[in-house]
């Protein structure tokens, strides 16, 4: 991976300064995703504050930043449009409870099932998504209320400031790591814009462009402390029916993105987060959001990378980011509003460069074609649709590829032992994909009276395998011959025993259960 990351261990100075940098980068993202969800900007800012604070305290990955995200915002659109923001708050509470339950049930471990090609596709696709999201900052709302690309001097100023931000972020760490380069870049670029009175779009310009004309003139990011309030929805089964699907999707998407981001940061920092604790932390944060007027969210890979790049390693970095963001909202909204968008775009472009797995281009010709296909597939689906869908599709395709490859591995060596029994010494698993090849190994018509299947190098993996054994035993019995199973592992014996109990349901109609399990020869 293209690395812009220092190896400094966590310390108070790094965490605090990194937190300030992250807080500045959180603002436009939170506002933008609030508009995506169809709620007021403050709902997104409250979400960024509460998600960042609570996941930093209770979550399982120090240094990871959470807030309002696009992945969850797009799920909320229809619920807000049809039923209103109070139903959204109720859905976020329920989503948080689902996530807490997932942590209690220790479901976070299932993130280990995500193959490496899917991870590569995830980071590459997300890097492209982050890059494309910044393109919106190169547009403005003209007098006809239509979005138009920057042109002429405005475009050149924007590009110049973005380039300056990227240059400072990249080269300053080569001189000193005392102060996060991202924070220095934001301060320097803001000072240049103010000092030279450049016509550069700022954060407040972005907010005003997103609001109706009658509200834009008085737009501000100044707010108050979020206050507790139970969502104003009827406590009925009908309400549960309305919010349940949205809550479940928010919970699932939030956990997938958070756990994948956790895994990525683990690899970068050489440490290990706690997935189940992160599930609980995300759940606590989302539940609190619903009761305090926030739109919820999950881990943010862009802001997390900014934090790691800036030297933030401990929980203090996320806590600082959240508290500084709240301080800006309460006391210093004017400072945030004057930050040029170009500075934040430049920071995010550096995140894109650091997130994209450039080595994937080099390894593509060297890895199996199926793995290369999965990397491209997951990247494309992430960009075109959604991260959660991309990961799920990637895992399913990887599983199918794995099943197809292992279906070809079922083989058998045959010989006749001292008792005159024909032995099929199996190699490879018996499961749904290998059944056809498994059945083709046997010749019941020409085999002797007693046939043994040797399982020292094989195992029965699923119910399809049991059914295949049962069907094979029926063929031998129909010919007056006996099939024996030898050296089954304890797990396979238990699987057969359980299946036998199911077959016992039909004993009254068919008293013969044909698969015999014995311990011939030990």
Q: Of 80-89, 483-492, 494-503, which has the strongest mean pLDDT?
A: 80-89
Strands (DSSP E) along 441-515, which ranges? 450-460, 482-486
pLDDT at 295: 95
Q: How confident is the model at residue 499 (pLDDT cuts 50, 70, 90)?
A: low
Cα-based distances in Å from 473 to 108, 374, 431, 521: 41, 40, 17, 20
Mean pLDDT for the chain overall: 85
Q: Count Cβ neighbours within 10 Å for each residue of 249-280 and write b for 16 or more, e otherwise.
A: bbbbbbbbbbbbbbbbbeebbeeebbbbbbbb
Q: For residues 109 and 275, is the Cβ–Cβ distance under 8 A?
A: yes
- Please give the distance of CA 426 from its chain centroid, rounded to a whole number: 39
Phi, psi of 141 (to 5 degrees): -95, 115
Average pLDDT over residues 146-168: 91
Domain boundaries, the chain: 20-220+231-379, 411-517
The answer to whether 23 and 272 are in contact (CB under 8 A) is no
The strand pairing partners of 486, in sequence order, are 454
The CATH number for 411-517, chosen from 3.30.360.10, 3.30.750.24, 3.30.43.10, 1.10.260.40, is 3.30.750.24
For the residues 376-383, what does the mean pLDDT come to? 91
> Which token pair is 345?
């775009």
The secondary element (H helix, E strand) that includes residue 154 is: helix 152-175
Q: What is the pLDDT of residue 173?
A: 85
Q: What confidence tens digit (pLDDT) does each residue in 263-296 have?
A: 889 988 888 889 999 999 999 999 999 999 999 9
458 - beta bridge partners? Answer: 428
Range in 29-38, 78-87, 241-250, 253-262 the model is least confident about: 29-38
**Using one digit for the tens of pLDDT, what is the confidence trace for 421-445?**
999 999 988 888 888 888 899 999 9
For residues 319 and 23, the answer to whether their CB atoms sit within 8 Å is no
Residues in the chain: 522
Taking the whole predicted model, whether its pTM rises above 0.85 is answered as no
Query: Residue 20 is inside which H or E element, if any?
Result: helix 12-37
Average pLDDT over residues 488-500: 71
């Amino acid at each position: 991976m293209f690395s812009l990351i220092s190896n400094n261990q966590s310390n108070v100075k790094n965490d605090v300064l990194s937190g300030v940098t992250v807080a500045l980068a959180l603002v436009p993202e939170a506002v933008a995703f609030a508009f995506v969800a169809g709620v007021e900007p403050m709902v997104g800012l409250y979400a960024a504050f509460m998600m960042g604070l609570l996941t930093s305290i209770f979550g399982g990955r120090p240094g990871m930043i959470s807030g309002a995200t696009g992945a969850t915002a797009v799920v909320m659109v229809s619920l807000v449009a049809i039923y209103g923001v109070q139903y959204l708050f109720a859905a976020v509470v329920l989503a948080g409870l689902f996530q807490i339950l997932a942590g209690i049930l220790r479901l976070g471990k299932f993130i280990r099932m995500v193959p490496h090609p899917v991870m590569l596709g995830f980071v590459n696709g997300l890097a492209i998504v982050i890059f494309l999201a910044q393109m919106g900052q190169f547009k403005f709302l003209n007098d006809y209320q239509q979005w138009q690309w920057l042109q002429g001097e405005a475009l050149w100023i924007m590009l110049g400031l973005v380039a300056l931000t990227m240059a400072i972020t990249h080269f300053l760490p080569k001189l000193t790591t005392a102060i996060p380069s991202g924070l220095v870049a934001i301060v320097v670029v803001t000072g240049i814009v103010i000092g030279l009175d450049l016509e550069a779009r700022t954060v407040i310009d972005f907010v005003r462009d997103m609001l109706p004309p009658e509200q834009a003139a008085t737009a501000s990011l100044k707010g108050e402390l979020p206050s507790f309030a139970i969502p104003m929805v009827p406590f009925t089964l009908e309400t549960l029916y309305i919010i349940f699907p949205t809550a479940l999707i928010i919970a699932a998407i939030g956990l997938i993105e958070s756990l994948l981001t956790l895994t990525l940061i683990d690899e970068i920092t050489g440490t290990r987060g706690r997935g189940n604790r992160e599930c609980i932390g995300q759940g606590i944060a989302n539940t609190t959001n619903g009761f305090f007027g926030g739109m919820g969210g999950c881990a943010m890979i862009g802001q997390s990378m900014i934090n790691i790049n800036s030297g933030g390693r401990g929980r203090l970095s996320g806590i600082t980011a959240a508290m500084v963001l709240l301080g800006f909202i309460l006391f210093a909204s004017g400072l945030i509003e004057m930050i040029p968008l170009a500075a934040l775009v430049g920071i995010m472009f550096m995140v894109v460069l650091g997130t994209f797995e450039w080595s994937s281009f080099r390894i593509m010709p060297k890895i199996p074609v199926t793995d290369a296909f999965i990397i491209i597939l997951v990247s494309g689906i992430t960009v075109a649709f959604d991260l959660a869908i991309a990961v799920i599709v990637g895992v399913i395709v990887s599983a199918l590829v794995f099943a197809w490859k292992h279906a070809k591995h079922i083989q058998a060596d045959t010989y006749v032992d001292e008792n005159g029994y024909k032995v099929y010494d199996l190699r490879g698993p018996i499961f749904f994909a290998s059944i056809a090849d498994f059945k083709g190994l046997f010749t019941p018509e020409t085999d002797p009276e007693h046939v043994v299947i040797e399982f020292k190098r094989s195992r029965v993996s699923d119910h399809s395998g049991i059914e295949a054994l049962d069907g094979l035993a029926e063929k031998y019995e129909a010919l007056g011959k006996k099939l024996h199973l030898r050296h089954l592992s304890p797990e396979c014996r238990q699987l057969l025993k359980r299946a036998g109990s199911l077959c016992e349901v039909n004993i009254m109609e068919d008293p013969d259960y044909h698969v015999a399990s014995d311990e011939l020869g030990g």
